[in-house]
Structure 1
Amino acid sequence: MSTPITIVVPTYNAGNNFKKCAYMLLKQTANITEIIVIDSSSEDKTPDIAKSFGFSVDIIPKCDFGHGKTRQYALNKANTEIVVFMTQDALLADQNSIDNIICFLQRDKNLAAVYGRQLPYLNTGVIGRFARLYNYPDTSFVNTFEDIEKKGIKTAFLSDSFAAYKKSILQNIGGFPKHVNFGEDTYIAAKLLLAGYKTGYCAEAMVYHSHDYGLYEDYLRSKIIGKFHKEEHWLLDIFGRAEGEGVKYVFKELEYLFDTGKIYLLPVAFLHNILRFIGYRIGLR
């Protein structure tokens, strides 16, 4: 019998699109023994949809939701050592996605968390598509604390839109931070690396998950990131500042637009990057 797995999906007004995600969860070849949905009192049929697929549904008050504390609440409920966290809009790309991420996680006893590759949906715009291709490459790797010199703050990057954790290790370092309502996955990755554990990225474990943020949405999101870095300033003190990574992103995006013949989008990309920078600096201060 393969390793038993718990899947956790926080939801809120996921709508009918959640059916596609639920269907792909049931098609997985992995030994999924429980699927826990933590629903923040949806106003639509999300809890009923989840129950119709046989998922365990725990409804919490909307005001009680927090990205850190809700995931810790779910982690405490999980009955297996390996727990996979997903978001309601992450669609597993094939039936082996969960198996692939679990196999990667289990190949090293010091590997505590692994996140999977996020592919852009087919209808994703050029700028949103590049963001996924840049942050989720086609080559797997493992991060250790020593990688800071080469990767800087990117060493602590991890996304729990699709990520697998070893519960015992996570609990040993204090679990998900209940006071953090954004960036809880980065927080956890950094704490794991500081404790001497490894984190990983499995390019063979894939989900479809992408967004086409508008200018104002990009500004607000970057402002939240800046605020997170201000509140958790130890991240920047230890792993380095984020601006250097931002510059790399801009140049790679420029190269991508030239290579794909989308030069006409340069003004739009420029505006997005300027607003991201302004938002981040405002949040940081």
Structure 2
Amino acid sequence: MKTALIIPTRNAERYLDHLLPALAAQSLQPDELLVVDTHSQDATAARFRAFGARVEVIQPQQFNHGGTRRWASRQVDAEVLMFLTQDAIPADPHCLASLRAGLFAAPDIGIAYGRQLPHLDAGILGAQARRFNYPVESRIKRLSDAPQLKVKTCFSSNSFSAYRRAALTDAGGFPADVIGSEDAYTAARMLLRGWAVHYVAEAQARHSHDYRLLEEFRRYFDIGVFYGREDWIAAAFGGAAGEGRRFVEAEIDALRAAGQAWRIPEVLLRSACKLLGYRLGHRERLLPNALKRRISMFSTYWA
């Protein structure tokens, strides 16, 4: 089966000295490499073209986390669709091969997503977030796991993922218009159609963020918008089932282990900002678009 690798980009040049050599070293080379560039003002498009990629340039107002991936998936002729973000760097030469193998580990797997390791210069909290969400053991998740895992059943990440086209088509494809979390949306649709989601810990890429306080608020505002609008997901799978509390406890434990217990109030403040952002996002219909543009990470969504 043919494999296509799709990478959405915008002003990605600062990552390319690491990303391009990592892609060139892969034991599995995709049959197609499509870069969808959102009108970069640096040399992103030129460097990817020199690397051998097909580059399609779109305008910022055309970009949508779901819609752009939906469009891109229709521009390639492959049964396996891999997605990578510009700042996710394959950690070893077998990264893509391991992810593809995970997609075919069982006949009902529709999505495989890999383990995200923190970047080598990641801060304590940024690294802990990756350890919490991406454990060392692989797991295949099916709809029957929802009573235990709740909404985590449909957790997935398009920062480093692979889709079986037949499953993606069966589930209706990527959503045409979402503020983000298109990966959770698509995984939920697939699970409800009887497909499975495979977390493949052997497939590893380095990808992490050290968000500032305001960035945490803005990110969770967008997440709140998504789950407020897509309330069918919670209805089908349940809520977070205490994940937030466990996440905070893990952050505190990580700070104590690093001898930085003095930063615990920072964790509590961050958690308060996340909760406030999420709840505000859930009620975004009460807010004017001008305000939503100011507090959202995806400001052009509100144009």
Distance 1:125 1:16, change over 3 A: closer
Residue in structure 2 matched with residue 254 of structure 1 by the alignment: 252
**Segments of 4+ moved more than 3 angstroms:** none
CA-to-aligned-CA distance 1:91-143 (integer Å, 9 cap, x gap):
00010000001111112110000100111111111111110110111110000
> Does structure 1 conserve the Cα–Cα contact (< 8 Å) formed by 2:7 and 2:34?
yes
Residue in structure 1 matched with residue 15 of structure 2 by the alignment: 17
Residue in structure 1 matched with residue 38 of structure 2 by the alignment: 40
> Does structure 2 conserve the Cα–Cα contact (< 8 Å) formed by 1:4 and 1:31?
no
Letter in 2 for 1:207: A
Letter in 1 for 2:35: V
Give RMSD over aligned pairs. 1.2
The separation in 1 between residues aligned to 2:207 and 2:229, in whole angstroms, is 28
TM-score w.r.t. the length of structure 1 is 0.96
State the SS of the aligned residue for 2:13: coil
Residue in structure 2 matched with residue 165 of structure 1 by the alignment: 163
TM-score w.r.t. the length of structure 2 is 0.91
State the SS of the aligned residue for 2:66: helix
In structure 2, the gaps of 5 or more residues are: 284-303
Percent identical pairs in the alignment equals: 36
Residue in structure 1 matched with residue 104 of structure 2 by the alignment: 106
Residue in structure 1 matched with residue 268 of structure 2 by the alignment: 270
Pairing 1:210-225 to 2, within 5 Å after superposition:
210-225=208-223
The separation in 1 between residues aligned to 2:197 and 2:30, in whole angstroms, is 22
The separation in 2 between residues aligned to 1:230 and 1:263, in whole angstroms, is 35
Pairing 1:176-187 to 2, within 5 Å after superposition:
176-187=174-185
1:188 and 2:186 matched: yes
Q: Aligned-pair distance for 1:262?
A: 2.5
In structure 1, the gaps of 5 or more residues are: none
The separation in 2 between residues aligned to 1:262 and 1:142, in whole angstroms, is 36
Residue in structure 1 matched with residue 195 of structure 2 by the alignment: 197
The separation in 2 between residues aligned to 1:254 and 1:149, in whole angstroms, is 28
The separation in 2 between residues aligned to 1:64 and 1:236, in whole angstroms, is 29
State the SS of the aligned residue for 2:92: coil
State the SS of the aligned residue for 1:32: coil
> Does structure 2 conserve the Cα–Cα contact (< 8 Å) formed by 1:5 and 1:30?
no
Higher mean C-alpha deviation, range 235-244 or range 193-202? 235-244
Residue from 64, 67, 76 that aligns with 2:65: 67
State the SS of the aligned residue for 2:209: coil
